[in-house]
């Protein structure tokens, strides 16, 4: 059995992939920000012929688009006594889906707190993974080639949501702590 990276919270590691999804704890993680990024396109110094070849992209090929979520990943919960008060082990994390396409869905409100339930992955033989994200103010489905979650700071015990000072502000950094 592996030694936890953060023994107090039980966090086993700071970098998770789609192979770990079933082993991860998910409990309505607060989303602080999201971003959609793409590659920077073709180099500036291409000849017209090279540019034409670069621009001839197969529409069925995976894209270079990435979908990033800056969230408070809830590592676990601690229930106290008969009154069942609850504290949470929470850490700032970056959730990234790579090579994203065929995005459907939307947001109910961008003015209210947004949280994220456990991502649901559907894997069919010979096809790329389909994802479904649902939360209090969002519902998205899409196809992606890769997935990962990086915990950026050690978990802290307390409220379900971290304050900006506790989490180091908004970040899509993919460098794990530890």
Tokens 């479904």 -> residue = 132
Q: Write out pLDDT tens, residues 93-139.
A: 999 999 898 899 998 877 788 999 999 999 888 888 899 999 988 99
Residue that wins the pLDDT comparison between 177 and 2: 177
User: What is the C-alpha to C-alpha distance for residues 129 and 138, in angstroms, rounded to an integer?
Assistant: 20
Quote the pLDDT of residue 44: 74
Q: Write out pLDDT tens, residues 134-161.
A: 998 899 999 998 899 999 999 999 999 9
Q: Is the pLDDT of residue 18 over 90?
A: no
Going by their DSSP bridges, the two strands 114-116 and 29-37 should be labelled as: antiparallel
Report the phi/psi class of residue 105: left, alpha or beta, with left for phi > 0 and alpha for psi in -120 to 50. left
Q: Write out pLDDT tens, residues 47-69.
A: 777 766 665 555 555 578 899 99
**65, exposed or middle or buried, with CB in 10 Å at 0-12, 13-18, 19+?**
middle
DSSP state of 6: B
């Amino acid at each position: 059995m592996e030694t936890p990276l953060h023994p107090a919270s039980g966090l086993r590691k700071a970098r998770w992939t789609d192979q770990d999804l079933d082993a991860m704890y998910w409990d309505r993680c607060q989303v602080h920000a999201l971003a959609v990024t793409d590659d920077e396109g073709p180099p500036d110094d291409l000849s017209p012929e090279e540019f034409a070849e670069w621009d001839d992209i197969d529409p069925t090929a995976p894209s270079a688009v990435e979908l990033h979520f800056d969230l408070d990943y809830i590592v676990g919960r601690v229930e106290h006594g008969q009154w069942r008060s609850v504290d949470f082990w929470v850490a700032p994390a970056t959730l990234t889906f790579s090579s994203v396409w065929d995005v459907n869905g939307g947001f109910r409100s961008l003015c209210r707190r947004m949280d994220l339930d456990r991502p649901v992955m559907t894997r069919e033989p010979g096809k790329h993974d389909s994802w479904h994200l649902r939360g209090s103010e969002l519902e998205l489905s899409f196809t992606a080639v890769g997935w990962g979650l990086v915990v950026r700071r050690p978990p802290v015990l307390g409220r379900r949501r971290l304050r900006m000072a506790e989490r180091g502000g908004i970040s899509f950094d993919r460098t794990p702590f530890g």
